[in-house]
Amino acid sequence: MRRLRNVKIVATLGPASETYDMIRALHEAGADVFRLNMSHGSHEEIREKHRIIRQVEKDLQSPIAILADLQGPKLRVGVFANGEEELVEGAKFRLDLDSTEGDAERVCLPHPEIFAALKPGANLLVNDGKIRLQVEDCGEDYANCVVTTAGIISNRKGVNVPDVVLPLAALSEKDRDDLEFVCGLGVDWLALSFVQRPEDVQEARDLAQGRAAILSKIEKPAAVEAFDDILAASDGIMVARGDLGVELPVSAVPPIQKRLVRKCRHVAKPVIVATQMLESMIDSPMPTRAEISDVATAIYEGSDAIMLSAESAAGSYPIEAVTTMNNVAVEVESDPTYREIIEASRTQPRSGVADAIVAAAREIAETTQVAAICCFSQSGTTALLIARERPRVPIIAMTSLRGTARRLALSWGTNCVITSNVSRFKMAVVASARAARDLGYAEESDQIVVTAGLPFNVPGTTNILRVSPCDERLIFNVESE
Query: Exposed, middle or buried: residue 327 (CB in 10 Å: 0-12, 13-18, 19+)?
Result: middle
User: Which pLDDT score, from 0 to 100, does residue 463 have?
Assistant: 87
76 is catalytic: yes
Q: Yes or no: is domain 8-72+169-335 CATH 3.20.20.60? A: yes
User: Which pLDDT score, from 0 to 100, does residue 132 have?
Assistant: 95
Query: Exposed, middle or buried: residue 461 (CB in 10 Å: 0-12, 13-18, 19+)?
Result: middle
217 is catalytic: yes
Beta-carbon contacts of residue 255 (< 8 Å; ≥ 6 apart): none
Q: Packing angle between helix 198-208 and helix 173-185, nearest 10 degrees?
A: 50
Other CB atoms closer than 10 Å to residue 110's CB: what's the count?
Answer: 14
Q: Which of 220, 241, 275, 381 is catalytic?
A: 275
74 is catalytic: no
Where do the DSSP E strands lie in 283-328? 305-308
The three-state DSSP-derived secondary structure of 177-197 is HHHHHHHHHCCCEEEECCCCC
Q: Which of 5, 8, 24, 217 is catalytic?
A: 217
Beta-carbon contacts of residue 172 (< 8 Å; ≥ 6 apart): 71, 72, 73, 74
- Give the C-alpha separation, 385 to 265, whole Å: 9
Query: Exposed, middle or buried: residue 289 (CB in 10 Å: 0-12, 13-18, 19+)?
Result: exposed
Antiparallel, parallel or unpaired: β 65-69 and 189-192 = parallel
The predicted-structure confidence for 183-200, as pLDDT tens digits, reads as follows 999 999 999 999 999 999
User: Which pLDDT score, from 0 to 100, does residue 448 have?
Assistant: 95
Q: Rounded to 10 degrees, what is the CA torsion of 71, 132, 102, 82?
A: -90
Of residues 436, 442, 348, 431, the one with CA closest to residue 389: 348
Are 21 and 50 within 8 A, CB to CB? Answer: no
Give this prediction's pTM. Answer: 0.92
- pLDDT averages per 10-residue partition of the chain, 481 residues: 93 97 98 96 96 97 97 92 96 97 96 93 92 96 97 94 86 96 98 95 97 97 96 98 91 97 96 97 97 98 97 97 98 97 83 89 93 93 94 95 96 94 83 92 93 77 88 59 46
404 is catalytic: no
Q: Which of 35, 205, 362, 388 is catalytic?
A: 35
Give ranges for CATH 2.40.33.10 in the chain.
84-160
- Total count of residues recorded for the chain: 481
Are 343 and 57 within 8 A, CB to CB? Answer: no
Are 33 and 9 within 8 A, CB to CB? Answer: yes
Give ranges for CATH 3.40.1380.20 in the chain.
353-479
Q: In the CATH hierarchy, which top-level class contains the domain 84-160?
A: mainly beta
- Give the C-alpha separation, 110 to 94, whole Å: 13
Give ranges for CATH 3.20.20.60 in the chain.
8-72+169-335
The predicted-structure confidence for 314-372, as pLDDT tens digits, reads as follows 999 999 999 999 999 999 999 999 999 999 988 776 678 889 999 999 999 989 989 99
Q: Which of 3, 47, 74, 76 is catalytic?
A: 76
Fold of domain 353-479: Pyruvate Kinase; Chain: A, domain 1 (3.40.1380)
- Give the C-alpha separation, 237 to 367, whole Å: 32
DSSP string, 45-111: HHHHHHHHHHHHHHHHT---EEEEE------B---BTTSEEEEPTT-EEEEES--SPB-SSEEE---
